[in-house]
Amino acid sequence: AHGQINPITIRNIDKGRYGVVLGFRRHRAALHLVESGKAPDFRLKCITAKMTDREAALKNFSENLHKAEPSAM
């Protein structure tokens, strides 16, 4: 299968600037595709969420915890 399965989650951190909350690896992979010229028109699907710094950190921690312990699911 090709293509993006899940959108990344981003949040507005300043006027016109966004930060990735969930999906760092997908974001990096997409940047690599664009910068390498393999998919210069690639668009990444995103969900924009309103959250505080603390909420973003907790969501990111939770995502990383699931990656570290896949058998816990």
Tokens for 29? Answer: 């992979």
Paired strand residues for 9:
22, 47
> Whole-angstrom Cα distance, residue 47 to residue 70?
24
> Whole-angstrom Cα distance, residue 23 to residue 19?
11
> Whole-angstrom Cα distance, residue 50 to residue 9?
10
Paired strand residues for 10:
20, 48
> Whole-angstrom Cα distance, residue 66 to residue 1?
23
Regions of the chain where pLDDT drops below 50: 1
For 36-46, write each residue's pLDDT tens digit: 999 989 888 99
Q: What is the reported pLDDT for 48?
A: 96
